[in-house]
Amino acid sequence: MPAATIRERVVDAFRKVEAGEASPFSWDVKASAKALREELGPAPDKDDLIDDAKAVNALSGIVGAQGKEVEFIASSSVLNPFMLEKSVDSLDVEALASALWQSISPSVDIPQVTVEALVASSTWSPSRKRIAWSERTSAPLPKADVKKADEFGPKVDAIVDELRAAARDEEIDYVSFIKRGDLVERAYLLSFAITDGRVLLNVDPISGKITIKPSKRRVKTSASVVIVLEELPIE
Q: Within this chain, do residues 133 and 224 fall inside the same structural domain, yes or no? A: yes
The pLDDT value recorded for residue 145 is: 47
Q: Within this chain, do residues 219 and 112 fall inside the same structural domain, yes or no? A: yes
Please indicate, yes or no, if residue 92 is contained in any of the structural domains.
no
Alpha helices in the chain (DSSP H): 6-18, 29-40, 46-76, 81-89, 93-103, 115-124, 149-167, 174-178, 183-195
179-185 contacts, C-beta under 8 A, 24 or more apart:
179/234, 182/144, 182/145, 183/229, 183/234, 184/141, 184/142, 184/144, 184/229, 185/144, 185/145, 185/146, 185/155
pLDDT (tens digit per residue) in 50-97: 888 998 999 999 999 988 888 776 665 555 566 667 777 788 888 888
Q: Is residue 216 classed as helix, strand or coil in its secondary structure?
A: coil
Q: Is the pLDDT of residue 144 over 70?
A: no
Q: Within this chain, do residues 61 and 164 fall inside the same structural domain, yes or no? A: no
Q: Within this chain, do residues 126 and 39 fall inside the same structural domain, yes or no? A: no
What domain range includes position 35?
A: 6-76
Please indicate, yes or no, if residue 84 is contained in any of the structural domains.
no
- Paired residues of 201 in beta bridges: 212
Please indicate, yes or no, if residue 94 is contained in any of the structural domains.
no
Percent of the chain with pLDDT over 90: 14
Q: Within this chain, do residues 135 and 48 fall inside the same structural domain, yes or no? A: no
Q: Is the pLDDT of residue 123 over 50?
A: yes
Using the 3D structure, point to which of 54, 76, 98 is the last residue of a domain: 76
Please indicate, yes or no, if residue 85 is contained in any of the structural domains.
no
Q: Within this chain, do residues 177 and 121 fall inside the same structural domain, yes or no? A: yes
**Domains identified in the chain, total number:** 2
When pLDDT is averaged across residues 105-130 and rounded to a whole number, the result is 55
Please indicate, yes or no, if residue 95 is contained in any of the structural domains.
no
**pTM for the structure as a whole:** 0.45
- Paired residues of 132 in beta bridges: 107
When pLDDT is averaged across residues 89-114 and rounded to a whole number, the result is 68
Q: Is the pLDDT of residue 162 over 90?
A: yes
Please indicate, yes or no, if residue 41 is contained in any of the structural domains.
yes
Q: Within this chain, do residues 204 and 146 fall inside the same structural domain, yes or no? A: yes
pLDDT (tens digit per residue) in 185-227: 888 889 888 888 889 888 887 777 889 999 888 776 655 676 7
Q: Within this chain, do residues 112 and 220 fall inside the same structural domain, yes or no? A: yes
Q: Within this chain, do residues 136 and 212 fall inside the same structural domain, yes or no? A: yes
Q: Within this chain, do residues 112 and 205 fall inside the same structural domain, yes or no? A: yes
Angstrom distance (rounded) from CA 106 to CA 5: 36
Q: Within this chain, do residues 131 and 226 fall inside the same structural domain, yes or no? A: yes
